[in-house]
């Protein structure tokens, strides 16, 4: 299962995240990549607060003993950011479901 640059908002019961995790078969892989939101300020006039969205590290903390985290890191982009954006790093989580 892969989700790339998919805005996954925090929810009290983690419904969307649980659905994503449940879609990974035993011995399957979850690959979740998104913009590194560190250093981004909330923009209430646009309805955006970076802390409203899951980052790979948030997801890694929610994984239980049925998972192993293979990669959980921030990486610099190897290509320039698209015009009009300022993202220079991405965060990546790669986890394997054991059972």
Bridge partners, residue 69, by sequence: 95
The two structure tokens encoding residue 4: 């790339």
pTM of the predicted structure, to 2 decimals? 0.86
* Residue 36 contacts residue 5 (beta carbons within 8 Å): no
Q: What is the pLDDT of residue 60?
A: 95
Sequence-separated (6 or more) residues with CB below 8 Å from residue 9: 16, 52, 53, 54
- Per-residue pLDDT tens for 50-84? 889 999 998 999 999 999 999 999 999 888 877 87
């Amino acid at each position: 299962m892969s989700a790339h640059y998919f805005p996954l908002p925090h929810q009290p019961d983690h419904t969307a995240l649980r659905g994503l995790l449940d879609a990974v078969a035993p011995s399957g892989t979850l690959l979740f990549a998104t913009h590194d939101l560190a250093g981004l300020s909330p923009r209430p006039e646009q309805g955006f607060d970076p802390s409203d969205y899951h980052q790979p590290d948030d997801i890694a903390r929610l994984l239980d003993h049925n998972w192993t985290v293979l990669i959980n890191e921030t990486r610099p982009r190897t290509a320039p950011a698209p015009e009009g954006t300022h993202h220079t790093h991405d965060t990546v989580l790669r986890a394997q479901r054991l059972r």
